[in-house]
Amino acid sequence: MASLPHLPGATATPPTTNPSHSTRTIFAKPSHFITHAKRNNRLRISCTAQNQNDNASQNVETSKGKVDRRNMLLGIGGLYGATNLVSTHEASANPIQPPVLDKCGVATNLNTGELLDINCCPPTSDKIIDYKLPPVFRMKTRPSAHRVSPEYIFKYNMAIDRMKRLPKDDPRSFMQQANIHCAYCNGAYDQAGQGTLDLQVHNSWLFFPFHRWYLYFYERILGKLIGDPTFALPFWNWDNPKGMTIPPMYVDPKAAIYDSKRNQDHLPPAVIDLGMTGNTDPLQVVSNNLTIMYSEMIRANSSALDFMGQPYKEGTPVNPGPGSSERGSHTAVHVWVGDPREKSGENLGNFYSAGRDPLFYCHHGNVDRMWTLWQYFLPSSKVPDKKITDPDFLNAAFLFYDENAQLVRVTVKDALDNLKMGYDYERIDLPWLDYRPPPQTAVAKIKRTGTNVPKTETIFPLIVDKIVRVRVPKTKKGKADELLVLENITVDTTKFLKVDVFVNDEDDNVTELDKAAYAGTYAQVPHKTSNTSATTSIRLKLTDLYDDMDVADDDEIVVTLVPRHQGEGLTIGGIKIIENPPPPTPATPPSS
């Protein structure tokens, strides 16, 4: 078990009080430094009708007037002129519609047909109000979990302990809160009016806003239980070398925030492997981690959708396409912490059980922090496109129970600004911000790879269960602004799957990612869909990669696919290179 080496880490600066957009600044970064066992019998989750008496068509009274109850779970708001998110897709469809609340499914194990020990379905209520963000009188600051005081740890454990002591049918109780993730993420709901299409908040542009709202109410419930409205959840700072171990406060067996279902080989001082490469050198793992963060936050993205995830609208099948952050560090943390002794990697390693581990909310605190950093702290020169104005994104909505056990409807458009929601994050340096891989010193030419590398048209569709190399034609010679597209990626959703992508990589050591040849990744956390399979695609920006490698005179590149999972479960339909379309030109206002 590798421990974290002594490295030039980042220091924190005190959090600001009542910060505003104008005061969001990036603090100084350190300079660039060098620094699974196969799981069988995975649980498959399916749903059966919980209530055979379908009264879901009854109208109920809300602040919007009388509406059909099936329209409660995901409401539709008005068009919102967002100021902090640019769309490459203007909507002609509708936002995802709510499922029928009374037809929430009971999770079962498809391997045995037996019911699981939980029912993911929340309590129902006919009284639903449209949530309005309360005025912010005092900004809450979410702290780094590695830097919290003993007093904070005591307060945090007391809050979780009180949550666990609530009655089981209280929607604010620990298991009811954990079941939120199961219901929205493991197929307990179908899209209303869309046949058997699952409602799924992962692998699309709903990923960030749904989880932001989830943590928002979870945090407020904990604060209410201890009588402290200023209480803020911690975040696991796994993007910084000093935070690349499980935070110590979570490994005390006597603590309320402890969970026994974690990988025992990955307890502190083990360094988290965001690349899931299996490399045992802690210095190399840290360097890999920082390279991954730079790639998924900056290098691999050409548009807001590449980071946020692809559009998910009414009638869209699940898994339209995860954003770079979701399929990268987010997925790795889930699977790395999950317990291989359990059938499906419980708790954190599977969507249906992830919320049972208090570390889940700390992990997603940092996921949410990545969204905030991407929105406000990354220079526009590095990330020029940060907005999505599609009303089908802005008007998507969810239901949560607030700290008073009141069922409330919230929209994506109200979750775009964390400061308006009353919280900010402790300022921690971002060592990955300038961690661009060094240019490849040796000239990498296609001719050096040999003539035995097949062309794309000869091997696809391809089951990726071993390392594969393929020649892919460029759109033009020179350092063109191009995207590498992996299309028709069909996956078994019940498995952990991960494939890393390299370009013109002449180094056979695929456990090292801190090099110009590393282009990006696709990965998924095990979860359930109706047919236990889904199809998606991803895009990887090649502009910076071309700048760092000598490929200007080449007509082709060699793409290397490196699976980090074992066995089958992932098929790629094809690989191609396309020109990166220019960002949309802002409309010219009419002359007066």
437-446: per-residue pLDDT in tens? 988 865 555 5
Q: What is the pLDDT of residue 190?
A: 77
Interval 280-304 mean pLDDT = 96
394 pLDDT above the threshold of 70? yes
* Max avg pLDDT among 77-86, 411-420, 526-535: 411-420
The annotation status of 330 as a binding-site residue, yes or no, is: yes
Q: What is the DSSP string of 155-183?
A: HHHHHHHHHHHS-TT-TTSHHHHHHHHHH
* Max avg pLDDT among 112-121, 195-204, 224-233, 483-492: 224-233
Which residues have a Cβ under 8 Å from the Cβ of 186 and sit 6 or more positions away? 45, 107, 120, 351, 352, 527, 528
Tell me the per-residue pLDDT of 452-462, one tens digit each, with 9 for 90 and over: 899 998 999 99
> What CATH number matches the domain at 446-579, 2.60.40, 1.10.3470, 3.40.50, 2.60.120?
2.60.120
At 85, the pLDDT band (50, 70, 90 cuts) reads very low
Q: What is the DSSP string of 112-144?
A: T-PBPS---PPP--S-EEE--PPP-SS-EEEPB
DSSP classification of residue 241: G
219 pLDDT above the threshold of 80? yes
The annotation status of 181 as a binding-site residue, yes or no, is: yes
At 189, the pLDDT band (50, 70, 90 cuts) reads confident
- Nearest alpha carbon to residue 518 among 224, 292, 187: 292
**Between residues 116 and 306, the one the model is more confident about:** 306
Cα separations (Å) of 474 from 461, 546, 555, 577, 578?
A: 20, 11, 6, 6, 8
In whole numbers, what is the pLDDT of the chain averaged over residues? 81
The annotation status of 146 as a binding-site residue, yes or no, is: no
Residue 429, token pair as written in the block: 């340096």
The annotation status of 32 as a binding-site residue, yes or no, is: no
> What CATH number matches the domain at 44-428, 3.40.50.1820, 1.10.540.10, 3.20.20.80, 1.10.1280.10?
1.10.1280.10
Q: Please, which residues bridge with residue 53 across strands?
A: none
Percent of the chain whose predicted confidence (pLDDT) is above 70 = 76
Q: What is the 3-state secondary structure (H, E, C) of 18-65?
A: CCCHHHCCCCCCCCCCCCCCCCCCCCCEEEEECCCCCCCCCEEEECCE
Active site residues: 181, 202, 211, 330, 334, 351, 364
Question: Where do you find CATH 2.60.120 in the chain?
Answer: 446-579
Q: What is the pLDDT of residue 417?
A: 97
Q: What is the pLDDT of residue 553?
A: 76
Interval 313-332 mean pLDDT = 91
Tell me the per-residue pLDDT of 375-392, one tens digit each, with 9 for 90 and over: 999 988 888 778 899 999
The annotation status of 202 as a binding-site residue, yes or no, is: yes
**Between residues 90 and 406, the one the model is more confident about:** 406
Question: Where do you find CATH 1.10.1280.10 in the chain?
Answer: 44-428
Measured in degrees and rounded to the nearest 5, phi and psi for residue 270 equal: -60, 135
